[in-house]
């Protein structure tokens, strides 16, 4: 834990930056967000497939965003959301948008659960409700930053054309052989980083038991693989030709499965017809929920559950998506940001959420063999629910003080209210 404290101290030594607060009233004169509740398709509950019930909030964007090809959205619960692209950096809090900085943004990543790191071409900035300069930029010299990503253990990955940079425990290392990276994906609770190069090839980074970096080139039989994301269980999800593909961790080497909608629906063709081809995908790094934007629907997949809602007609060409730490899904076409907040609280089950929560937070000690008693089955968790609630309420678990991933004590309270369904 000492390590963590020392590195936190570094973070507070970011020097404060002089900000240009521009008046954004020009753009947002009186734009108040519209609230629509979207209670759709009640009839279609099949095994594993159910309607996604969401509250959609639309927030208008400055004109300039509609001319951008893509831009960034990043959120931390206590800080609100940052939106950044060629048009600069904006803060979205309480549904009002505020102009923060004019320089173009090439990446935004949540960091240490309470900051957002913003990459501009020439520098990294940190947002903690104010914008701060970081002292890391000097490392990059003449190199321009292309993108960045942050990992659960506070590691930051920064890509320039010439190298991939890793900031870990205050140490910045350049891997020059890992160049030309244009996209980085990490999952909060995962040790994996997936990188895409400019030529479309992918590689996966992981660390071995000695802490050495391992690089796995991904051979793939999926043509035109896009948007590869690592899920909490080690599965890699991808999208290829409008279809969902995946590589399971235990799966044989580099063979990719075509994922069939039939896994969720008893009538495979039907769901495919309803949702159409997949166009974008994102992973909620907190819960591991996979979000898809398809031709006709917004789909959320978590384990064996698939939920969907019709895609709003107004959403034509999509320029930014983000599934943020507060389990909100954001989509923007450049004119507005559509914020999808999942509203249903009815579906909660051991297999749906509780088991995943236990796996992400507790089973490193509460498995069959471990310092704590096994809490790795439906029966054991059910027996100890009250005790678990007590432990979580008093912040006693996890004792190694790692932050909780994918929920908190409310999850167990809700589950108990619903009589602990399996």
103 and 90 Cβ atoms separated by less than 8 Å: no
Q: How far apart are CA 402 and CA 368, in angstroms?
A: 21
If binding is defined by CB under 6 A, does position 399 make contact with ligand HEC? yes
Under the criterion CB under 6 A, does residue 336 sit at the interface with ligand HEC? no
Q: Verify binding: residue 102, ligand HEC, rule CB under 6 A.
A: no
Name the minimum Å distance from CB 153 to ligand HEC.
15
CA distance 70 to 109: 16
Residues 371-390 that bind ligand HEC (CB under 6 A): 371-373, 384, 387-388
When the beta carbons of 214 and 373 are compared against ligand HEC, the nearer one is 373
Token pair 């999850």 is found at 411
48 binds ligand HEC (CB under 6 A): no
> Which residue has 């010439």 as its token pair?
162
Separation CA 235–CA 187 (nearest Å): 11
Rounded Cα distance, 350 and 377, in Å: 9
Using rule CB under 6 A, residue 391 touches ligand HEC = yes
Q: Is the peptide bond before 173 cis (omega within 30 degrees of 0)?
A: no
For ligand HEC, give the closer residue by CB, 49 or 375.
375
- For 368, counting Cβ atoms within 10 Å of its Cβ (0-12 exposed, 13-18 middle, 19+ buried), the class is exposed
Of positions 362, 405, 407, 415, contacts ligand HEC by CB under 6 A: 362
304 binds ligand HEC (CB under 6 A): no
**Residues 332-351 as b or e (16 or more Cβ within 10 Å = b):** bbbbbbbbbebeeeeebbbe
Q: Please work out the total of residues on this chain that contact ligand HEC, with binding judged by CB under 6 A.
A: 16
CB of 326 to ligand HEC, least distance (A): 19
Binding mask 11-40 for ligand HEC (x = CB under 6 A): ------------------------------
| Complex with ligand HEC: residue 125 or 388, whichever CB lies closer | 388
* Minimal distance, residue 186 CB to ligand HEC, in Å: 21
**In whole angstroms, what is the distance from residue 139 CA to residue 85 CA?**
23
Q: Shortest Cβ distance from residue 7 to ligand HEC (Å)?
A: 20
Q: How far is the CB of 88 from ligand HEC (least distance, A)?
A: 40
Of the candidate residues 398, 409, 413, 416, the single one contacting ligand HEC (CB under 6 A): 398
Q: Contact between 368 and ligand HEC (CB under 6 A)? A: no
C-alpha torsion sign, points 135, 138, 140, 145: positive
| Residues with Cβ within 8 Å of residue 98, at least 6 apart in sequence | 24, 90, 91, 92
CA-based Rg of the chain, rounded to a whole angstrom? 21
Place of tokens 């995908």: 281
What is the nearest approach in angstroms of ligand HEC to the Cβ of residue 364? 5
With binding defined as CB under 6 A, does residue 141 bind ligand HEC?
Answer: no
Nearer residue to ligand HEC within complex by CB, 27 or 350: 350
Which residues in this chain contact ligand HEC in the complex, by CB under 6 A? Answer: 361-362, 364-366, 371-373, 384, 387-388, 391, 397-400
């Amino acid at each position: 834990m000492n390590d963590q404290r020392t590195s936190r101290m570094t973070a507070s030594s970011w020097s404060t930056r002089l900000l240009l607060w521009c008046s954004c009233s020009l753009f947002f004169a009186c734009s108040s967000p519209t609230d629509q509740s979207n209670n759709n398709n009640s009839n279609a509950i099949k095994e594993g497939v159910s309607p996604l019930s969401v509250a959609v909030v639309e927030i208008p964007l400055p004109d300039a965003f509609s001319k951008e090809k893509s831009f960034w959205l990043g959120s931390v619960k206590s800080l609100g959301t940052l939106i950044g692209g060629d048009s600069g950096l904006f803060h979205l809090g309480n549904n009002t948008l505020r102009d923060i900085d004019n320089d173009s943004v090439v990446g935004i990543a949540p960091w240490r659960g309470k900051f957002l790191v913003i990459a501009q071409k020439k520098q990294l900035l940190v947002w903690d409700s104010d914008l701060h300069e970081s002292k890391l930029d000097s490392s990059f010299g003449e190199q321009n930053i292309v993108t960045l990503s942050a990992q659960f253990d506070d590691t930051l990955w920064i890509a320039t054309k010439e190298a991939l940079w890793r900031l870990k425990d205050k140490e910045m290392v350049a891997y020059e052989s890992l160049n030309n990276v244009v996209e980085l994906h990490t999952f909060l609770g995962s040790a994996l980083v997936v990188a895409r190069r400019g030529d479309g090839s992918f590689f996966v980074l992981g660390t071995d038991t000695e802490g050495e970096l391992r690089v796995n080139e991904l051979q793939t039989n999926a043509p035109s693989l896009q948007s590869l994301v690592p899920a909490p269980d080690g599965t890699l999800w991808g999208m290829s030709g409008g279809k969902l593909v995946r590589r399971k961790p235990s799966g044989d080497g580099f063979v990719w499965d075509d994922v069939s909608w039939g896994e969720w629906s008893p009538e495979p063709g039907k769901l495919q017809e309803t949702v159409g081809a997949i166009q974008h995908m994102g992973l909620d790094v907190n819960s591991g929920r996979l979000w898809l934007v398809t031709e006709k629907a917004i789909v959320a997949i978590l384990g064996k559950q698939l939920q969907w809602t019709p895609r709003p007609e107004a959403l034509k060409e999509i320029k930014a998506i983000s599934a943020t730490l507060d389990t909100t899904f954001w989509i923007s076409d450049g004119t507005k940001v559509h914020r999808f907040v999942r509203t249903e609280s009815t579906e909660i089950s051991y297999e749906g959420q509780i088991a995943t929560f236990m796996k992400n937070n507790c089973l490193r000690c509460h498995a069959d063999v471990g310092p704590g008693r096994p809490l790795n089955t439906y029966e054991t968790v059910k027996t100890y629910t009250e005790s678990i609630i007590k432990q979580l309420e008093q912040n006693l678990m996890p004792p190694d003080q790692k932050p909780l991933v994918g929920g908190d004590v409310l999850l167990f309270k809700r589950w108990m209210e619903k009589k602990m369904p399996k």
